[in-house]
Amino acid sequence: MQTSSLVFALFAGFSGLRIFSYLPQIYRVACDANGASAISYATWSSWVGANLATALYALANLGDVLLAGVSLVYAACCATVIALTIAKRHGLARRLAAQQRHSAPRQLPANCPQLIEMPASIG
């Protein structure tokens, strides 16, 4: 087997594994009830950027449609993790706000005068 064939086989094998390795992460974020707190926007965004740059490089400089396509799939998987994380964090924030509204005692706004003054002491 030639070196270039071996390298392509390694690329194809690990690319396949890489695509499937995103699926458990996507599943865990989708099922997370705590706002996907372990997900870093900066990290996943940098992976989207790196994969998009690889796709553009493959097209513009190498004319390699396969590498560009695979890199776009990687970018889409990373973007899916980001989108799910945004949705989970937004949903968590809404749930927490609803819980606070239902559990907090009702108070008059600060600019609303009290109609009944309670004496400091009775008697």
pLDDT tens series, the chain, 123 aa: 799 999 989 989 999 999 899 999 999 999 998 899 999 999 999 999 999 999 999 999 999 999 999 999 999 999 999 999 999 999 888 888 888 887 756 565 565 555 445 455 554
Q: How do the domains of the chain map onto residue ranges? A: 9-98
Pick from 95, 80, 91, 7: which is nearest to 47 by CA? 80
The count of other CB atoms within 10 Å of the CB of residue 92 is 16
Going by C-alpha positions, the residue among 89, 95, 82, 2 that lies closest to residue 43 is 82
Q: Nearest CA to 21 among 58, 47, 53?
A: 47
C-alpha 46/C-alpha 52 separation (Å) is 10
Q: What is the pTM of this model?
A: 0.75
